[in-house]
């Protein structure tokens, strides 16, 4: 049984490309040798769902004080502002690019389960699983 060579549909005269079973316009069978029952439709098999990745933005940062080097937990809203260290009372401006301020990590709430996650700086920009709900997360700044 030869494949449809292409050309005008025998019913509606619309031009159809080669290797079609039915006319796109009128749904007529294009090959006379084919019967409706001779075309076996494979069973439906759903595709495996691709795991989605959620963007997770830090709510705050763990940094080392540039004066006493003690670990501080600072909310992200204070980025770029002058702060007083709770340990040594000296002031500094929180900028993560400042080499005197050691960025130790950050914290955030998982977008899926809303549990608080503490994350080391080495995971910034990477895809990881939440330890509570196993959702895929990508940490963004």
- SS3 (DSSP) at 123: helix
At 39 the pLDDT is 66
Place of tokens 């950050």: 106
Helix (H), strand (E) at residue 120: strand 116-120
pLDDT grade, residue 120 (50/70/90)? very high
Looking at residue 107, its pLDDT comes to 95
Q: What is the mean predicted confidence (pLDDT) over 67-88?
A: 95
pLDDT-wise least confident of 28-32, 50-54, 109-113: 50-54
Residue 36 confidence (pLDDT) above 70 = no
Asked which of 34-48, 77-91, 121-135 is least confident by mean pLDDT, the reply is 34-48
pLDDT of residue 38: 59
Bridge partner list, 22: 29
Among residues 131, 133, 127, 125, the alpha carbon closest in space to that of 53 is found at 127
On the question of pLDDT at 37 being above 70, the answer is no
């Amino acid at each position: 049984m030869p494949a449809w060579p292409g050309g005008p549909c025998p019913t509606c005269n619309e031009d159809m490309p080669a290797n079609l079973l039915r006319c796109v316009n009128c749904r007529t069978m294009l090959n006379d040798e084919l019967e409706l029952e001779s075309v076996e439709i494979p069973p439906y098999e759903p595709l495996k769902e691709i795991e989605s990745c959620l963007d997770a933005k830090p709510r705050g940062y763990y940094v080392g004080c540039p004066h006493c080097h003690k670990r501080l937990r600072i909310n992200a809203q204070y980025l770029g502002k002058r702060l007083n260290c709770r340990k040594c009372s000296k002031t500094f401006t929180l900028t993560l690019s400042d080499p005197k301020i050691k960025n130790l990590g950050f914290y955030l709430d998982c977008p899926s389960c809303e549990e608080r996650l503490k994350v080391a700086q080495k995971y910034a920009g990477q895809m990881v699983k939440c330890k509570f709900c196993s959702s895929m997360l990508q940490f963004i700044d």
